[in-house]
């Protein structure tokens, strides 16, 4: 049996022997790369090296990089999909190209890992007319040259054999690739020779992307240009390699997961295989993400983490694992990482990681039971189901009220033979997120919702109206912070205000107060809010209801409140100070007095 350590050592030693420098893996949270949530390939932290913008540590390099890929989260629980994995990667930066990469890959697999060449199949890029990228005929020749039979070389199109960092709109270095597959034998289906079909889901398992031939650059409009330098990027999933080399049925049978799966089996009441795998996978990935200093939340990385933790918890319930076993399960997972020589550089103690996981557990476990009950009630009501589809508003409500990530609702629905429309859910999710963001922005930095703070909040709206009246309508809010003692308001204006101007603004506000004007809140569509001339941050992204506060014909602002109901509640408005905040931005501090 191969161990993780043997695979790592064989891989790194082989490339080191062939002149490659062993470099450190990066954190799974990308540095200075807002386009990427998590590092998803060994080359991701060095994109700029391929474009020539950054110098490489060496022309030939290799490493082991922890990667997170949650795009296939629905497939996790099958034989070999995982949400995190370690990538064995090697690179040539402007050094050897197709021939070198292919001969290294072949030699490492057949000699280093002793795989008979008859068990290997390779795919090569067959070209793409629309994008004007030619077929990779050279790689075919190099494969034949090292000894791969023509019948084991499969030509594939853009989707399979052109590697790029994301989709049509993600800019980055890219190129045709050639991948190596291992034949797991007749027990996993018909061979290519028998059926004419290359079954890469079951029988043939991809073990190495033996070369992305980085010679193109895709811009954000999906146009291609040639890079100045030709490079090679390779990557192999360690977990898959371990499973394949050991002839195992699944990645969960390897030393990476086996002790965890065994523990779960011994401590639960109904060991459903899929749930065991999902728990083992998600717990491991959650630990790695928590260790990378990400906290569970409803946005971006934090939301990926939240989904993993919550889905794991729901499956723990499914198999009947008692809550008091969870810390032990986490502890065991971390201990196992150490035992098999696959642990990250710890940023926290084990105890701290367990506490972070359990804090999210505590949040979710409160609503999980109620949510499950609510789900069962919802599906009893026919109006929530049309053509076997659960109303997306229900899926969203389960998220919003009970904290159910979509995967959980989808799984519950599946058990009842129902489907959930992911697209509609995501639309509702985005809309909700944008509204909260907008409301967050326009919460205007309220320190609390005491009576004094609320008065000052309404005064802030009047102040903004006054500034626009006196200085011009181009003036607008750039920041706001309100405590019970004072308001602080930042706005764009290029110079110090004169005493007269300040007096005029003060008078404007006090006049509005003396007129005893009601403050009216209305909910309306964003589109309609725009038409009313309300001020605030408008973006195209969000849809339905926003709230708008109107004070007579003086002020109309997109705002989530709260506000007083009539300006007469404010008392006397007084500006204390006007000063520079930063370049082109002025700051006013003001109070209201009885």
- Contact residues for ligand SER, defined by CB under 6 A: 41-43, 89, 163, 209, 212, 233-235
**Burial class, 165, CB count within 10 angstroms (exposed 0-12 / middle 13-18 / buried 19+):** middle
**Burial class, 316, CB count within 10 angstroms (exposed 0-12 / middle 13-18 / buried 19+):** buried
Cα separation, 488 vs 575, in Å, equals 10
From the CB of 172, what's the least distance to ligand SER, in Å?
10
Q: Which helix (H) or strand (E) holds 229?
A: strand 224-237
Q: Which is nearer to ligand SER, 212 or 242 (CB)?
A: 212
From the CB of 469, what's the least distance to ligand SER, in Å?
58
Q: Which is nearer to ligand SER, 209 or 444 (CB)?
A: 209
Beta bridge partners of 124: 155
Peptide bond connecting 562 to the previous residue in cis, omega within 30 degrees of 0: yes
Q: Which is nearer to ligand SER, 95 or 411 (CB)?
A: 95
From the CB of 63, what's the least distance to ligand SER, in Å?
11
From the CB of 251, what's the least distance to ligand SER, in Å?
17
Token readout for 469 is: 């009246």
- Whose CA is closest to 280, among 513, 77, 117? 77
Whose tokens are 């003036």? That residue is 475
Cα separation, 593 vs 570, in Å, equals 8
From the CB of 87, what's the least distance to ligand SER, in Å?
6
Position closest to ligand SER via CB: 235
Q: Which is nearer to ligand SER, 175 or 403 (CB)?
A: 175
From the CB of 192, what's the least distance to ligand SER, in Å?
22
Token readout for 376 is: 């069962």
From the CB of 158, what's the least distance to ligand SER, in Å?
15
Q: Which is nearer to ligand SER, 174 or 551 (CB)?
A: 174
Q: Which is nearer to ligand SER, 209 or 460 (CB)?
A: 209
From the CB of 212, what's the least distance to ligand SER, in Å?
5
In this structure, are residues 174 and 217 in contact, taking their beta carbons and an 8 Å threshold? Answer: yes
- Whose CA is closest to 460, among 317, 366, 561? 561
Q: Which is nearer to ligand SER, 14 or 425 (CB)?
A: 14
From the CB of 88, what's the least distance to ligand SER, in Å?
9
Q: Which is nearer to ligand SER, 234 or 510 (CB)?
A: 234
From the CB of 233, what's the least distance to ligand SER, in Å?
5
In this structure, are residues 373 and 366 in contact, taking their beta carbons and an 8 Å threshold? Answer: no
Cα separation, 57 vs 60, in Å, equals 8
Q: Which is nearer to ligand SER, 163 or 378 (CB)?
A: 163
- Interacting residues of 552 by C-beta distance below 8 A, sequence separation 6+: 512, 515, 517, 518
The 3-class secondary structure across 289-335, one letter per residue, is HHHCCCCCCCCHHHHHHHHHHHHHHHHHHHHCCCHHHHHHHHHHHHH
Q: Which is nearer to ligand SER, 170 or 452 (CB)?
A: 170
Helix (H, G, I), strand (E, B) or coil at 103: helix
From the CB of 52, what's the least distance to ligand SER, in Å?
18
Q: Which is nearer to ligand SER, 36 or 585 (CB)?
A: 36
From the CB of 397, what's the least distance to ligand SER, in Å?
38
Q: Which is nearer to ligand SER, 125 or 163 (CB)?
A: 163
Pairing of β 21-22 and β 60-68: parallel
Token readout for 338 is: 């150490």
From the CB of 263, what's the least distance to ligand SER, in Å?
31
The dihedrals phi and psi of 60, each to the nearest 5 degrees, come to -120, 125
Token readout for 375 is: 């789900």
From the CB of 345, what's the least distance to ligand SER, in Å?
22
In this structure, are residues 231 and 216 in contact, taking their beta carbons and an 8 Å threshold? Answer: no
- Interacting residues of 91 by C-beta distance below 8 A, sequence separation 6+: 20, 42, 43, 46, 56, 60, 61, 62, 231, 232, 233, 234
- Interacting residues of 116 by C-beta distance below 8 A, sequence separation 6+: 110
Q: Which is nearer to ligand SER, 162 or 263 (CB)?
A: 162
Instruction: Please give the full DSSP string across 440-496, using - where no structure is assigned.
Output: HHHTTTBS---HHHHHHHHHHHHHHHHHHHHH-TT--EEEEEE-SS-EEEEEE-SSP
Q: Which is nearer to ligand SER, 25 or 42 (CB)?
A: 42
Token readout for 364 is: 């979710």
Cα separation, 298 vs 433, in Å, equals 9
């Amino acid at each position: 049996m191969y161990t993780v350590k043997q695979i790592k050592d064989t891989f790194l030693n082989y490339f080191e022997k062939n002149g490659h420098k062993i470099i450190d893996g990066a954190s799974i949270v990308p540095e200075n790369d807002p386009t990427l949530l998590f590092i998803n390939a060994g080359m991701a932290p060095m994109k700029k090296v391929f474009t020539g913008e950054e110098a490489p540590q060496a022309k030939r390099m290799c490493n082991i990089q922890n990667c997170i890929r949650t795009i296939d989260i629905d497939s996790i629980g099958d034989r070999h999909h995982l949400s995190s994995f370690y990538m064995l990667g090697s690179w040539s930066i402007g050094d050897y190209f197709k021939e070198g990469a292919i001969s290294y890959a072949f030699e490492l697999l057949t000699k280093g890992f002793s795989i008979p060449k008859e068990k290997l199949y390779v795919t090569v890029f067959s070209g793409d007319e629309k994008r004007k990228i030619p077929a990779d005929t050279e790689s075919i020749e190099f494969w034949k040259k090292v000894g791969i039979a023509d019948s084991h070389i499969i030509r594939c199109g853009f989707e399979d054999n052109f590697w790029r960092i994301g989709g049509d709109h993600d800019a980055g270095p890219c190129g045709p690739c050639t991948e190596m597959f291992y034949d797991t034998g007749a027990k996993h289906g018909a061979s290519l020779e028998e059926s004419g079909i290359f079954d890469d889901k079951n029988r043939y398992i991809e073990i190495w992307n033996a070369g992305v031939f980085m010679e193109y650059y895709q811009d954000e409009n999906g146009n291609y240009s040639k890079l100045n330098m030709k490079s090679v990027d390779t990557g192999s999933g360690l977990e898959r390699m371990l499973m394949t080399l050991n002839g195992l049925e699944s990645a969960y049978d390897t030393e990476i997961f086996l002790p965890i799966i065994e523990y779960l089996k011994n401590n639960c009441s109904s060991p459903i295989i899929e749930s065991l795998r999902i728990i083992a996978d998600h717990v491991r990935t959650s630990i790695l993400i928590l260790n990378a200093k990400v906290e569970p939340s409803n946005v971006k990385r934090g939301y990926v983490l939240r989904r993993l933790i919550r889905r794991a918890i729901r499956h723990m319930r499914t198999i009947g694992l008692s809550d008091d076993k969870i810390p032990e399960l986490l502890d065991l997972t971390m201990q196992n990482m150490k035992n098999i020589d696959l642990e990250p550089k710890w940023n926290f103690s084990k105890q701290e990681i367990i506490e972070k996981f359990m804090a999210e557990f505590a949040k979710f476990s409160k609503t999980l039971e109620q949510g499950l009950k609510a789900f069962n009630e919802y599906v009893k009501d026919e109006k929530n189901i049309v053509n076997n589809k659960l109303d997306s508003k229900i899926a969203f409500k389960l998220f919003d009220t009970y904290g159910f990530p979509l995967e959980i609702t989808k799984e519950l629905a599946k058990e009842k033979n129902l489907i959930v429309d992911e697209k509609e859910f995501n639309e509702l999710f985005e809309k909700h997120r944008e509204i909260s963001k907008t409301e967050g922005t326009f919460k205007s930095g309220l320190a609390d919702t005491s009576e004094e703070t609320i008065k000052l909040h309404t005064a802030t709206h009047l102040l903004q109206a006054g500034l626009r009246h006196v200085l011009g309508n181009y003036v607008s809010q750039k920041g706001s912070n309100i405590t019970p003692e004072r308001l602080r308001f930042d706005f764009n204006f290029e110079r110090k205000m004169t005493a007269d101007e300040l007096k005029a603004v003060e008078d404007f506000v006090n006049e509005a107060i003396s007129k005893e004007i009601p403050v009216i809140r209305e909910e309306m569509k964003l589109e309609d809010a725009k038409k009313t001339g309300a001020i605030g941050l408008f973006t195209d992204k969000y849809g339905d209801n926003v709230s708008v506060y109107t004070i007579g014909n003086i002020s109309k602002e997109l705002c989530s409140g709260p506000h007083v109901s009539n300006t007469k509640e404010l008392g006397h408005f007084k500006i204390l100070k006007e000063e520079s905040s930063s370049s082109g931005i002025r700051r006013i501090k003001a109070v209201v007095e009885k």
